[in-house]
Structure 1
Amino acid sequence: MRAALLTDHTLEALAVAEVPVPAPGAGEVLVRVETVGVNQLDRNVIAGIGPGAVAKLPRVLGIDPAGTIVAVGPGMSEARLGRPVVVKPNIPCGECRSCAAGREADCPAQTVLGVHRNGGAAEFVTVPERNAIDRGEIPAALATAAVHTVPIVLNAFEAIGVGAGDRLLVTGAGGMLGQIALQLGVASGADTVGASRSAAPAPDGARVLRAGSPAELRERLAAEAPFDAVVDVGGHGPTFAAGIAALAWGGRAVTCAASVDPVLELDQRSFYLRRLRLLGVASADFAQVRRALKLVAEGRVVPPVAARFPLERIADAYRAPRTAPGKVIIDVS
């Protein structure tokens, strides 16, 4: 089969090669892949940094494949053969306290497809049966764009209870997660405002403030404050701090990113006197993935797709400049 194989920590070492078709083991299914996405975590694997540094090379990339189940492991039911699925990238251990409570996102021993094991930038991939989520009528490309992004944002929203009547601020609104957060804010019935350091579109029912610096953003937010909740999806600490400063008494803040500037500086006295709350989330529970896909199936959240490349040009997909927010899709078959 064809697979995007990384043999060294450089983009020049990423190439499409012929490798054996994997065989599903106990508890696993074999998925014939249609699409997979370009992700920051893939870039970390290529560079050998951050969470990608644990990947053992050679490694097939691709954390979020969508396709069809074509085989099952020994002793497993064949009831799901032929079902269209999309893969939840994070694989929980299934044995810890968090997993037992249905909080798989908080599993401390979880592994990731395309990092700890070969991923879905290939014609076939094996995954734990539970991680192959039915996608129904959702097209493969849209499912790939949704499965790792929408559930993370939904997790952030649910962690701080964003809902109807809230005044919501989304920091980092210009990126892929930001666009999803704006849509989800509107779908939740919140009065939704985004903040971005660059120009960013706003879905119907939301507004986006553009500010080139944290100082400018603080000034603009002062005229908009107070907010009940701030969701940061941009990973820029000073921008998130400006959002926290604009929170109301008892306001809630959550972040699910730290990829740009991870240093977050807060006025501790103001933070505790105003009874603010701050949480961090990553990944998502299985139930949140299913709820997120339901939102996509209903058209309430539509993850943007910025560009598409064939598998043979996957290296070009990583080199291409980002001209618009949205997922870059690799068409495998």
Structure 2
Amino acid sequence: MTMRAAVLSSHDLDGLTVTESAVPSAAPGEVLIRVETVGINQLDLNVIAGVGPGAHARLPRILGIDPAGEIVAVGSGVDPARLGQAVVVKPNIACGTCPRCREGDEADCPSQTVVGVHRDGGAAEYVTVPARNAIDRHDLTAAEATAVVHSAPIVLNALRIAALAADERVLITGAGGTLGRAAVAIALARGARVVAASRRPLTPVGDERLVHAPDPAALTAALAAEDGFDVVLDVSGHGPTLSAGVAALGWGGRAVFCSASVDPDLRIDARDFYLRRKRLAGAASARYDDVAEALALAAAGVLPPLAGARYALDDIATAYRDFPRAGDGKVIVDVR
């Protein structure tokens, strides 16, 4: 039995073709998902280019880290009652045995692997994943779940790391993207006072203050009159922008960044950082309970619509070429 899949055979977009591949079988502890949608991600571009975390992919590789669909087969050890369940895939697969996993902090598992990087992904009509990574999406459509599953959970993890409290002042940089809009909505829902900054003009999610800053110098100038933020959450992946955010932290301020794919050149005033007791952390993944909470927030209407432009599977190379200039929201590929 064969399926259509987006297979990368060389580290360039010319090496990406939609072709016939064998349908995988669910191994023990796994489920087979008939895919409806999958997202376009910066990590996919890293795999295509063979750089950063994408350098771990061994070609040929089926792309797609965040598919959603329906369970159509289960491997041994998996409850057959899951057949027919509508699910979305948590991309990061924790090892389950290390000290962090045993403590329930799978987000920081040092041995985690990623769907579409270390194993074949969901830009295909079928994909297999560990049963635990196939999360019940309940009443969310496949596109809605794909848009949420790799964005909002990371934000939840980041805000937990930052120990965000109600009425604290939060700066969110890179607020125009999918993670950024989710971050603004979640911070507002938790009672924070939010400033949302982006290099492109923004539309408000709620009652946050908007800052349009085309470059880090403009951001620094726009924040010059501020009294210092309690929390900075950067989802831009742009080192100089994060540098400006760290500089804008107040006494004891906490900065968390959720992306480092665009420009990793981070510079910090060490004296200011030290004397003002600032803290900095990275959040590159999420816990399984973060995914469940994010999906629940989406179903409850707490999150704004996050799905954006849509492409057919046959046009997936075009989707990658257009990304990230495809407008607002998560770029979705309709597989089925």
Q: Are residue 330 (structure 1) and residue 317 (structure 2) matched?
A: no
| SS state at 2:223 partner | helix
Q: What amino acid is the match of 1:176?
A: T
In the alignment, the residues of structure 2 paired with residue 155 and residue 76 of structure 1 have an alpha-carbon distance, to the nearest angstrom, of 28
User: In structure 2, which of residues 82, 85, 88 is the aligned counterpart of residue 86 of structure 1?
Assistant: 88
Spell out, residue by residue over 1:241-286, the C-alpha distance to the aligned partner (whole angstroms, 9 max, x if none).
2122222211111111112221211111111111111111111011
Question: What is the number of equivalent residue pairs in this alignment?
Answer: 333
Provide the rounded CA distance (Å) in 2 between the counterparts of 1:16 and 1:58. Answer: 12
* SS state at 2:224 partner: helix
Deviations 1:295-327 (A, max 9, x none): 111110134222001111111111225142311
Q: Which residue of 1 aligns with 2:267?
A: 265
1:192-240: CA deviation from partner (whole Å, max 9, x where unpaired): 1011122222212112211223222212102233211110110112211
- Which residue number corresponds to residue 77 of structure 1? 79
Determine which of 50, 59, 62 is the counterpart of 1:60.
Answer: 62
Instruction: Decide which of 166, 173, 178 is 1:176's aligned counterpart.
Output: 178
Q: Letter of the 2:159 partner, please give it.
A: F
- Matched residue of 1:222: which SS? coil
Q: Which amino acid in 2 is paired with 1:143?
A: A
Question: Per the alignment, in what secondary structure is the counterpart of residue 79 of structure 1?
Answer: helix
Show the 5 A alignment for 1:226-305.
Answer: 226-305=228-307
Secondary structure of 1:224's aligned partner: coil
Q: 5 Å matches for 1:138-157?
A: 138-157=140-159
- Alignment partner of 1:307: what SS? strand
For 1:261 and 1:136, the matched residues in 2 are separated by 37
What SS does the corresponding residue of 2:293 show, helix, strand or coil? helix
* Equivalent residues in 2 for 1:153-168, closer than 5 Å: 153-168=155-170
Q: Is the 8 A contact 1:30 1:124 kept in 2?
A: yes
Q: CA deviation at 1:152?
A: 0.7
Mean alpha-carbon deviation: is it higher for 224-233 or for 148-157?
224-233
State the AA in 2 paired with 1:328: V
- 1:238–1:252: structure 2 CA closer, same or farther, 3 Å change rule? same
Contact preservation (8 Å) 1:180, 1:303: no
Q: Secondary structure at the match of 1:318?
A: helix
Return the alpha-carbon distance in structure 1 between the equivalents of residues 140 and 216 of structure 2: 39
The alpha carbon displacement at 1:54 in A equals 1.3
2-side partners of 1:75 and 1:177: how far apart?
Answer: 35
- Tell me the alpha carbon deviations over residues 163-218 of structure 1, each in whole angstroms, 9 at most, x when there is no partner: 31111100111222112111111111111101112222221211221122322221
**Identical counterparts, % of pairs:** 59
In structure 2, the gaps of 5 or more residues are none
Local SS of the residue matching 1:17: strand
TM-score, normalisation: structure 1: 0.97
Matched residues in 2 for 1:69 and 1:305: separation? 22
2:40 is aligned to 38
Q: What is residue 128 of structure 2 aligned with on the other side?
A: 126
Partner of 1:47: 49
The answer for unaligned runs of 5 or more in structure 1 is: none
Q: Secondary structure at the match of 1:283?
A: coil
Q: How big is each residue's C-alpha offset from its partner over 1:24-80, in whole Å with a ceiling of 9 and x where there is no partner?
A: 000000001110001111111111111111111111111000001111002432011
The match for 1:186 among 182, 185, 188 is 188
Q: Secondary structure at the match of 1:240?
A: helix
Q: 1:213 & 1:22 partners in 2: Cα distance?
A: 46
Partners of 1:214 and 1:309 lie apart in 2 by: 33
Paired letter, 1:126? T
Change (3 A) 1:242 1:46: same
TM-score by length of 2: 0.96
SS in 2 for 1:223: coil
Contact 1:173 1:208 in 2 (8 A): no
Whether the 8 Å CA contact 2:233–2:257 is kept in 1: the answer is: yes
d(CA) in 1 for partners of 2:250, 2:277 = 9
